[in-house]
Structure formats: C-alpha cells, structure tokens
A and B are shown apart, each in its own frame.
Chain A
Amino acid sequence: KLFHFGPCRVSMSVTEIRSGFTAIKANIQARDPIRTLSILSHPHSLHKVKLLDRCCITHHLFNFYVDKVFKHCKTEDSYINRKISSIANSFLSVKRKLGQCYEQNKCLCGQESKEKFKQILANYEGLNVTSAAIKSLGELDILLDWIEKSP
C-alpha cells in the first residue's frame, strides 16, 4: 500500500508487519511491566504530529527501530525471534525507501518534530536498554495505528 508522508511516498505492506506483530504482541507486552511510561505516546502523542512533520518523524522512527530497538529484543523463544526478524527486515526495507526521500531533502524536519523525537529518545534512554527495546517493540501498534491514519 502506498503511504504519503508529506512529500515522501513509500509503499509498505503494513498488513504483513501487523500480522507479525499481532503474533507476538501478548508475549512482548507481557515482558514490559512498566505501565506508567510510554516511549511513543507520552507525554507527546504521535497523533498530535502535524502533517508537515510526518515525514521527518516517520523517517527517524524507522531508523530508531532498525538502529536501536530490534537488536536488543532477542528472546529465549525461537518463534518470537523469527517474527521479530520478519518485522525488522520489513522495517529495514521501509527505512531504505524513506532514507532515499530524506536524502533528497524532501523530508524537512521542523523544530517541533525534532523536539518530539528528542522526547522519544529521552523516554528510551530513561530505561535500561533491554527494557527500553522490549517496550518500544510492544508499542509497534501505536506506530502502525498512527502511520495508517495518514491521509
């Protein structure tokens, strides 16, 4: 399906990513005991991101997941690891496409999106790396819900 993030248009099979996430959601979220902190949705909700900032935030979020999150999510469960690999490789594929558009300076980062993403990193760094990675992985539906809401 083709998604429009500001000037960037990216084809992405969200259905496949969602099906991979749905298969591991209960398991991964059960490994995250911290109810009072979210990486993506508080204090700034993704749903409040302005249209102009969507491209930059999406670009940074896919980089964030590929560069920082997935590698710290290895579990003792082979089935879960295989599903994480499938999601990670799908994210890598999208990251590449978004990266190309970003390099062509079409994906501008306003001050607000920089602030938002800085907050997301602060939330992430506020936890030990494994807890932060598992929490971020468990919030994938927050990211997908927001991506799919794109006009």
Chain B
Amino acid sequence: SGELYCSLPNPRNVHFESVNMKNVLHWSAPEGTGDGVLYKVKYSVYGVGKWIRKPECRNINRTWCDLSNETSDYEEQYYASVKAFLNGMCSDWTETTRFNPLTDTKIDPPMVSVSSTEKSISIFLTAPEKWKRSPEEESVSLLQVYPGLQYNVSVLNKKTKKRWWFSVSNNTLVVPWLEPGTTYCVSAQIHVPTPLLHSGFSKEYCIATLKDK
C-alpha cells in the first residue's frame, strides 16, 4: 500500500530488553498520542543488507515485540525498528542502537538448592538456560555461552551473623565442619569476568544443620 502521510511523532525509547538472551523489543507510544496507535516492527542483522518484517508484530497495539527467535544467533548483532500508525497518519521508522546479545543481555541469578547433614551443608548451583524456541528444543546453559562463568556464594551463619564468601567455578560447594543445629542462609550470584556481566543475587535459602545426636 502506498506510504501514508508520515507526520505522526515517532515511537520513543525503542530498545531491546534482554534476559538470558530472551530478546524483547520495547518502546513507548509517540508523544501526545492516546489509545488506538498501531505499530509494525522490522529487524535486520547488522552487516546484512535487508530489513525483515515481523508478521506477528504487524498492526499491534501493544508496545513490545518478542524478537528472541530472530536474534538467537549471538554471534551476530542486530537492529530493530518500529513505525506507528494512527488515524491514517504514520510516524517514521525509529531504530534501536546496535544490539549485541552476548554483551547486552542480563543474566538471571543462579538456581540454588541446599541440603544439610549434622555438620555440613551442600550447595548446588545451576546457571540459567539460554532462551529457547520451545520446551522440546535442546537446552543450552549460559555456562556454555560464557565459559568463564563463576558463582559468588554467600553463606550467613544466622546465630553468629557472620557471612562468608566463596567464589567457585563448578556447580557444587560443600561447606563442612559447621555447628550442629545451626541455621545457615545461602545466596548466590553469577559473575562473568569478560564480557563483564553480573547477575543479581538469588533469593536466600536457609537450612539448619542437624542437631547433635
């Protein structure tokens, strides 16, 4: 269809929000527009000469569009662009900055599970998985994406209120020689030295060592 009269203000703050390489394009409605604005989205692989329309995000009224599938190759970089329509008018295409999934994604905290014996606690850490198209698809751990991935683990003795820090690369940490009948709270964070990435800290998981027999 012929291009409409494009004097509508542009969508604002067009950017990728990425967590564990689930890459979702977000934007804000054009200034001064109420309801009824529709959008369409296109994306391009940096260095490749064509823009590709995203059919599922054509004439949508929401202000996000999941492009995880289209940007799943993290050896490439991407641009995305949004155009707004309202009452026969349209805006210009408004682009993101260049998006590098490898360095621009945020990482969720690791999953933590703990078990205890009389005098020790065992901490099991699991790095989040990279986003995948469907549950049937083979899982890829972020450990495979970032081989230098490490865990910073904090262990808090609830009785003495003392906190210890561990930095481990493998996913199991056993802390022996603890006090029986004492509660320890564990929290962990992922640290990737380069490209420099940190996750937030996981929820705190508390467990008590068994009482002295």
Contact = CB atoms under 8 A, between A and B. Distances in A.
A–B in direct contact per CB < 8 Å: yes
Interface of A: 1, 14-15, 18-19, 22, 26, 29-30, 35-38, 41-42, 45, 47, 138, 141-142, 144-145, 148
A18 to B, nearest CB: 6
A42 B98 contact: no
B48 interface: yes
Contacts, number: 51
A35 B46 contact: yes
Given A47-B75, A141-B100, A42 B195 contact: no
Contacts of A141: 77, 100, 103, 195
Interface string B27-52: 00000000000000000101111100
B79 interface: yes
A148 B75 CA distance: 12
Contacts of B100: 141, 145
B48 A29 contact: no
Nearest to A39: B47
B47 A36 contact: yes
A26 B195 contact: no
A42 B194 contact: no
B17 to A, nearest CB: 16
Contacts of A138: 98
B79 A18 contact: no
A14 B194 contact: yes
Contacts of A148: 194-195
Given A36-B47, A42-B48, A145 B98 contact: no
B76 interface: yes
21 contacts: A18-B194, A18-B195, A18-B196, A19-B196, A29-B98, A35-B47, A35-B79, A36-B44, A36-B50, A37-B49, A38-B47, A41-B47, A41-B76, A42-B47, A138-B98, A141-B77, A141-B195, A142-B77, A145-B75, A145-B100, A148-B195
A41 B87 CA distance: 41
B210 interface: no
A15 B197 CA distance: 11
A30 B97 contact: yes
Nearest to A37: B47
